[in-house]
Structure 1
Amino acid sequence: MELCFMQYKLIAIDMDGTLITSDKKITERSVQAMQEAEAAGAYVVLASGRMAANVKVLAKDLGLHSPAICGGGSQVVDSDYNLIHTCYIQPEIAKQVLEVCRQEGLYVQIFEDGNYIFQKHTPSSDVYHEISGLNPVEDPHLFEREHIETPKILIIESPERLKEIQPMLTERFPMLNIGRSRPTFLELNNPEGNKGVALKVLAEKLGLQQSELIAIGDNQIDASMIEYAGLGVAVGNALDEIKEIADYISADNDHEGVTEVIEKFILRK
């Protein structure tokens, strides 16, 4: 694709593995670039697998005032973090997924009212708490629930285990969008709850054209928004399959890949 230096008006930025460095930081230069982009009139949209309650705190810390895409695309919020679009997994499908996870002995969690809910406390539930800041809820009867309403299901296992089970889950549940957000995180969403659909919904609400959008990411759940945006960007540390669909490959997350894209395509520095 020949790059067009047009007036981009929105950049959707994946967080973990893209904006956030390997040592779990967001650099001062990245923060400054995002704030300058907003000051120039662009929307700086955090587009994360994290849920809205967590992204809201991070956006405030970063001094951002744009809408956001959360929950891997299952939630779209306005600049005040009011839900403007949400997409849940069908309850009967969610129950079937949990049953498969139970049979396979997988750590799995669902999301409800700002909480993440798991059957038994494990190191994985602690890991997610450290990352998300959401309220952990242990429910010994999670697998026996008659009705499960959740915007997404998250499985946390080793990268090797996820590579084993992802094809099986994809075959068993073709009605779901299934992809990794981290090497150890496998996310399951309603197909209408992916980042690409969420970006489309948000752009339409903001009156923006597809050609005015940039999306940048590194992992499988970023693919749909990278393909949808007028300019799809993969950071240098992205999976090869993400680089293959990107229009542009930036520096990696440890070398200001996000800042590079903002400065080059929005601020024109």
Structure 2
Amino acid sequence: MYKLIAIDIDDTLINDHKEVTPATQQALEDAVKAGVVVTLATGRAYASANKIARQTGLNVPIITYQGALVKNLLDEKVLYERYMPIDAARKLFQYCIEHDLHLQTYIDDKLYAREENQKLKDYAGLNNTQYHIEPDFEKLIAQPTPKMLIIDEPAYLDELIPVFKELLGDGVHITKSKPNFLEFMHKEGTKGAALTFLADHFGCDLSETIAIGDSWNDHEMLEVAGLGVAMGNAIQPLKELADYITASNNEDGVKQVIEEFVLKAK
């Protein structure tokens, strides 16, 4: 019997119109009524994720910044937090300056970049996020951040991954949330580490958890969960490691999982 469900937001919980459909909303409510803890697990900042969580009526800790921050919705108490190592952040910043790469960071749940450009505008528009410009980026690098992010062409980012792994060392977790977003966190800032923490927090075994996602940044939580679910619209590598493939985000795939594995089992 499953006791905890962790659901990715973009292209998983929400459809292509950025909405949680009434049918999926009803399924979430039915799962909660059945005594299951339903949480979100996202690469988004807490400020962005909590708006969606509140809309859906959830009132639990949520996993944000890929797993670098787990925070209560009710009292906003931080339960789990991992910051990018400062030395690695400096090296990443320096590399981006030298190679003219667009780098973003988050300080106190606010999005910062060195300059305003189309990449930043498009990203902020995608997540409905405010951004701040700080030309003196050195000031920001010295402060704790749960996540840094480079935006560029997918193939170029793929080439950069081994370069950054060597440059930054094994204290840093590198993942792609979308093809053109390369994200950097503390090595324990993964959705899998955060789900493991939350399962312990709620007193349930990982075998009693479900994780649902669509992108490669979801693979750690699908691997540790008792039931790892890939959306119908998920990338192929995630489908290959999933225990179950549900319908797409435009076909209420999350609802299907809840009905099949939570409500039918009751």
Considering the TM-score relative to the shorter chain, is it more than 0.5?
A: yes
Q: Name the structure 2 match of 1:247.
A: 243
Runs of 4+ displaced beyond 4 Å = 143-146
AA aligned opposite 1:131? L
Q: Name the structure 1 match of 2:18.
A: 24
How far does residue 78 in structure 1 lie from its aligned partner after superposition?
2.3
Q: Distance in 2 between matches of 1:61 and 1:82?
A: 19
Q: Name the structure 2 match of 1:140.
A: 135
| Alignment equivalent of 2:47, drawn from 34, 47, 53 | 53
| Superposed CA RMSD | 1.7
Q: Name the structure 2 match of 1:163.
A: 158
> Could you say what secondary structure the match of 2:116 adopts?
coil
Q: What are structure 2's unaligned runs of at least 5 residues?
A: none
- Identity among equivalent pairs (%): 38
What do the CA deviations read for 1:46-104 (whole angstroms, capped 9, x no partner)?
10001111111111111112221001100011242321110001111111111112222
Q: What are structure 1's unaligned runs of at least 5 residues?
A: 1-6
2:54 matches 1:88: no
Q: Distance in 2 between matches of 1:184 and 1:11?
A: 28
How far does residue 187 in structure 1 lie from its aligned partner after superposition?
1.0
AA aligned opposite 1:260? Q
How far does residue 143 in structure 1 lie from its aligned partner after superposition?
4.4
2:72 matches 1:78: yes
TM-score normalised by L of structure 1: 0.92
Q: CA distance change for structure 1 residues 111 and 78 in 2, over 3 Å: closer, same or farther?
A: same
Note if contact 2:89-2:141 (Cα within 8 Å) is conserved in structure 1: no
Q: Name the structure 1 match of 2:203.
A: 207
Q: Name the structure 1 match of 2:145.
A: 150
How far does residue 226 in structure 1 lie from its aligned partner after superposition?
0.4
Q: CA distance change for structure 1 residues 145 and 11 in 2, over 3 Å: closer, same or farther?
A: closer
| Alignment equivalent of 1:39, drawn from 33, 42, 51 | 33
Q: Name the structure 2 match of 1:4.
A: none
Stretch moving more, 189-198 or 140-149: 140-149
Q: Distance in 1 between matches of 2:127 and 2:137?
A: 21
Note if contact 2:4-2:36 (Cα within 8 Å) is conserved in structure 1: yes
How far does residue 128 in structure 1 lie from its aligned partner after superposition?
2.6
Q: How many residues align?
A: 263
| Alignment equivalent of 1:123, drawn from 118, 125, 145 | 118
> Could you say what secondary structure the match of 1:192 adopts?
coil
What do the CA deviations read for 1:94-145 (whole angstroms, capped 9, x no partner)?
1111111222211111101121110000122222322334431101111465
AA aligned opposite 1:211? S
